[in-house]
Every structure is written in C-alpha cells, then in structure tokens.
C-alpha cells in the first residue's frame, strides 16, 4: 500500500531533476539512453527481489533518465534549415497569426506560423514586433518583409542574463522580426473553435469598453478573460512596486472561481452531465484566455477535481499538483526553467496548500468576517513561497505587498462577477448593463487607488541586483524544513 502511495513522488521528483539538470548541461544522447537502460534493469531486478528501498532508488534514477531524454528530444527542434541559412537577411515570408496579439503600450507582438518563404515551403513560428495600428487578429493571413533574426540573450535591469532564446523556444518560436512591412492577405484561417472563443472575447471587451473607462477596462479584461492589453508602463511599474502584479493577468484563482460557479449552476443536472459540461467549460475557458502556464495548471487541477468527484475517488490536491506539473513539463520540458509564470504558479500553490493552513493558528487576531483571515493567511503563504523566485528572477522586493494584497484580493471575485455581468447584459441592452458597470468601475477604481497610494510610499519596493540562485535554493530549503516541522508537530498533537 505504501508503495502505491509513494512511487509517484520518486518518479516525478527524479523526472523534474533530470529536466532541471539537462536545462543547464548537455550529457549526450547516448549517455541518457544508457542511464535509462541501467535504471530500468535495476528496477526490474528490485521488483523481483521486492527490495522496497532499492525500488524507490531505481524509480528515482529512472525518472532522472526519462527527464534528460525528454529534454534531448525537445532540443531536436531547431527551426527551419532554409531560415537558419538566411539569418540577418531580408526575407519575404507569409503565414498565419496563430495566437492572440499581445498589445503593448507602443507596439504589438504577433506570433505567426510561417508556411511560405521565397517560394520555399516552411513550417515554423516567428515573433513579429510591429506598430499597434493597423490591428491584426487571430487567423489573419499576412505577408511580411524584413530582416529575420535569431533571439539573443540580454542583461536585465537586475544584472542577470535573460535567456530570451529559450524563453521563446518554450512557445515554439525560433525567430524574431522587428517592424517589417506587412500586407494582409486573408482572414479566418485559424482553428475554428479558438476563432469563435477569441471573437467572443473581443466582443466582450468591446462591450465593456463602451461603459467602463480606461485604465479600469483594461484591468477588468485581464481579470475576467486574460486580455493582453497594456495598462501602460507607469501603471505596470506601480503594480510591481505594490507587489500585486499577479492580478493584472488571469491567475489560477480565477479559474477556480469559474469552475465552482459552473458546478453550482449545473447542480440540477445528472452527475455525469454536470461534470462533463463543467470540464468542457474549463477547457474552453483556458483556450479563450490564451492557455498560459498558470491557467493550464489550474485548469488541469480543476478537471482532476471534477473527475475525482464524478468517480467518487478521494482527491489529493498535492498529488494532483504533481500530476499537472509532470504532465506539463513532459509535454514541454522548457517551461520548468524558462517559464516564470509556471514556476511562480507552482510555488504559490504549494504555499497555499501546505503553509496557509498552518498559519491560521497565528492569525487569530484577524476577523473571519468577509473571509479576511482566509485571505490573510493565503496572502502571507503565497507571498513567502514566491519571494525567493521573485528575488532571483526580478530582483525586486515589495515591502508593501502584504497590506496591498489583503486590501485588494477580497474585491477580486466580486469584480469578476460584476464585470462578467456588465459585458453579458450589455449584449442584450447597453442601458441595462450600466448599474453593473458603475459598480464594477467603482471596485476597479478602488483597486487602482490602493495600488497608486502604496506605490507612492518611499521605499515601497527595494531592488536587489543579481540575487544568486544558491540563495533562492537555500530559502526554499529553509521553507522545506519549516513545513517538515509543522508536519511532525501535527503528528504528535
């Protein structure tokens, strides 16, 4: 029984370490296969002899080997030979916009799937940086001419080197092009389901924009449907300084709210139909919001909850988190090291699962009304667990993050609900949506006011340049010891 409970942790841990090691060092494909073979032989031998400790070691080593091999296989994709031979040259290419445009303050970024270049058939992705106007949408076919470049690393504001090439490679993007001459050749060539979802999303944002002013409308778009619209560099810096940049884009918390709402709305249906429709809605919601790492992780976990309830099996949230993480890393091993949102999402979830319940005993002074105590413990737990990663990745420590999160987060669910009603009712009649719009705008203005007020406080944020990786790992080691202490205390109590 113990083996059935624990084997997944050893395999998953080994797999994660294997991918992590391979992300920094190349061992050679033959070496990886040899380690895999040795681990497999060791496991079979241990299974025959029933030596449980040796089986766990063999599973751990086998996981490491699988992780290395999986990364090696992913590394085989290096773009297109024709394009590799014509880097830093001006090319005329043609393709389809395959992702939602990322609108920034001064430009727009388009992910384009190239299918033709100088008469040669090509199948790869390029990231185009162009002006904000004219606008392009998902599924547009465009022809463009410009200098094709390969992404290169650069030094960030914190003094650390940002591997921009691997950051884009995790999304299947191997090339960049800045300010090309673009000609639209057609539209509607994307996936039909994603086209409908993105169209509905665009219509929702347009309707909201009629009744809610900026920057509140852009903030609402990020909260409700994960819209990639810029709030402006100054306002984004204020959100970073205040330690609440995570609400600007859709988070896993928002997916949980959507999943619970759907489950309750369909509770009158037979169990099988309500869970099936709920799972489909979660998948469509993830697609509509761009399917980022945070949303995919939360969506997988939400679907696991649905399956567990439908089959009557006990849902173990830690195991579900591991299943979600291993599945995502196996599908795309680059995200483990080169996707900050994936890393921060998992660290925050671990803190929420394991640390937040232990902190409740120390927060008796916080009232339970309006779930303030729950928000306080959740905020402290998640902030602590993402802190080492934020210091290493961004080198910025927000001193005011705790009070800001405590003041803002309780308003997020209500803002999402009222914002959704604003857009939905607006499709029927704009005048009928005004009461919801006024209430939504009031809540959004309150959140922006809190961010602005705290961001103006002197020393609200402290910059720590070149925060070392070993220091971040050491902090997580201390967290692990603290959680182990909590665990042993609960067993003896």
Which of 275, 309, 338 delimits the end of a domain?
338
Looking at the structure, do residues 86 and 40 belong to the same domain, yes or no?
A: no
Looking at the structure, do residues 86 and 161 belong to the same domain, yes or no?
A: yes
170 belongs to a structural domain: yes
Place of tokens 């994960």: 226
Looking at the structure, do residues 131 and 39 belong to the same domain, yes or no?
A: no
88 belongs to a structural domain: yes
Looking at the structure, do residues 274 and 327 belong to the same domain, yes or no?
A: yes
Place of tokens 């001459």: 181
Looking at the structure, do residues 71 and 90 belong to the same domain, yes or no?
A: no
Whether the CB-CB separation of 110 and 136 falls below 8 Å is answered with: yes
185 belongs to a structural domain: yes
- DSSP sequence for 311-362: HT----HHHHHHHHHHHHHHH-TTHHHH-HHHHHHHHHHHIIIIIHHHHGGG
Extract the residue ranges of the chain whose pLDDT is less than 50. 1, 314
Looking at the structure, do residues 131 and 86 belong to the same domain, yes or no?
A: yes
Looking at the structure, do residues 62 and 141 belong to the same domain, yes or no?
A: no
Looking at the structure, do residues 98 and 156 belong to the same domain, yes or no?
A: yes
Looking at the structure, do residues 18 and 98 belong to the same domain, yes or no?
A: no
199 belongs to a structural domain: no
Looking at the structure, do residues 266 and 328 belong to the same domain, yes or no?
A: yes
Domains identified in the chain, total number = 3
Integer Cα distance of 362 and 360 in angstroms: 5
322 belongs to a structural domain: yes
Whether the CB-CB separation of 230 and 105 falls below 8 Å is answered with: yes
Q: What's residue 447's pLDDT?
A: 92
Torsion (CA) 282, 285, 290, 295 in degrees, nearest 10: -40
Integer Cα distance of 476 and 470 in angstroms: 10
Looking at the structure, do residues 169 and 155 belong to the same domain, yes or no?
A: yes
CATH code assigned at 176:
2.40.50.140
Helices (H), 187-270: 192-211, 216-225, 233-242, 252-265
Which of 190, 219, 242 delimits the end of a domain?
190
Q: What's residue 310's pLDDT?
A: 62
Cα 190 to Cα 34, 44, 81, 96: the distances in Å are 42, 47, 25, 7
Residue 118 per-residue DSSP state:
T
373 belongs to a structural domain: no
The dihedrals phi and psi of 285, each to the nearest 5 degrees, come to: -65, -40
Helix (H, G, I), strand (E, B) or coil at 54: helix
304 belongs to a structural domain: yes
Looking at the structure, do residues 177 and 258 belong to the same domain, yes or no?
A: no
Predicted structure pTM score: 0.80
Cα 142 to Cα 92, 107, 129, 186: the distances in Å are 11, 17, 14, 7
Whether the CB-CB separation of 137 and 206 falls below 8 Å is answered with: no
466 belongs to a structural domain: no
Q: What's residue 1's pLDDT?
A: 46
The pairing of strands 120-130 and 173-178 is parallel
Which of 296, 313, 338 delimits the end of a domain?
338
Q: Which domain holds residue 322?
A: 250-338
Q: Give the number of other CB atoms < 10 A from CB of residue 421.
A: 17
């Amino acid at each position: 029984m113990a083996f059935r409970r624990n084997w997944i942790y050893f395999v998953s841990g080994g797999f994660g370490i294997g991918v992590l090691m391979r992300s920094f060092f190349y061992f050679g494909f033959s070496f990886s296969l040899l380690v895999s073979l040795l681990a497999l032989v060791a496991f079979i031998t241990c299974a025959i002899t029933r030596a449980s400790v040796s089986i766990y070691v063999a599973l751990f080593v086998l996981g490491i080997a699988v992780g290395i091999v999986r990364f090696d296989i992913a590394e085989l994709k290096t773009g297109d030979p024709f394009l590799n031979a014509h880097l830093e040259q001006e090319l005329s290419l043609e393709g389809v916009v395959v992702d939602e445009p990322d609108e920034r303050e001064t430009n727009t970024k388009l992910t384009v799937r190239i299918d033709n270049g100088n008469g040669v058939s090509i199948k790869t992705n390029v990231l185009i940086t162009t002006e904000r106007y004219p606008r392009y949408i998902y599924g547009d076919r465009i022809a463009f001419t410009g200098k094709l470049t390969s992404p290169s690393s650069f030094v960030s504001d914190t003094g650390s080197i940002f591997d921009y090439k691997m950051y884009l490679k995790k999304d299947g993007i191997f090339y960049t092009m800045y300010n090309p001459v673009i000609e639209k050749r057609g539209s509607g060539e994307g996936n039909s389901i994603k086209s409908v979802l993105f169209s509905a999303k665009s219509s929702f944002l347009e309707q909201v924009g009629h009744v809610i002013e900026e920057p509140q409308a852009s903030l609402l778009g990020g909260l409700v449907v994960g819209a990639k619209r810029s709030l402006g560099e100054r306002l984004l810096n204020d959100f970073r300084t205040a330690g609440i940049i995570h609400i600007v884009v859709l988070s896993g918390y928002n997916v949980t709210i959507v999943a619970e709402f759907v489950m309750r709305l369909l509770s009158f249906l037979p169990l099988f139909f309500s869970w099936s429709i709920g799972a489909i809605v979660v998948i469509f919601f993830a697609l509509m919001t761009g399917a980022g790492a945070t949303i995919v992780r939360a969506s997988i976990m939400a679907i696991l909850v649905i399956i567990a309830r439908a089959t009557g099996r006990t849902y173990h949230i830690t195991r579900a988190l591991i299943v979600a993480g291993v599945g995502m890393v196996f599908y795309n091993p680059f995200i483990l090291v080169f996707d900050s949102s994936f890393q921060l999402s998992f660290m925050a979830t671990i803190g929420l699962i394991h640390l937040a319940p232990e902190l409740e005993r120390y927060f008796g002074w916080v009232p339970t009304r309006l779930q303030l105590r729950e928000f306080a413990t959740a905020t402290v737990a998640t902030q602590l667990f993402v802190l080492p990663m934020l210091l290493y990745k961004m080198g910025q420590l927000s001193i005011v993050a705790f009070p800001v999160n405590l003041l803002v987060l309780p308003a997020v669910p209500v803002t999402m609900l009222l914002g959704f009603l604003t857009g939905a009712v607006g499709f029927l009649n704009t005048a009928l949506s005004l009461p919801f719009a006024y209430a939504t705008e009031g809540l959004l203005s309150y959140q922006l006011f809190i961010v602005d007020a705290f961001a103006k406080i002197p020393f609200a944020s402290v910059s720590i340049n070149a925060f070392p990786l070993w220091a971040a790992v050491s902090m997580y080691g201390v967290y692990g010891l603290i959680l182990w202490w909590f665990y042993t205390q609960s067993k003896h109590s």
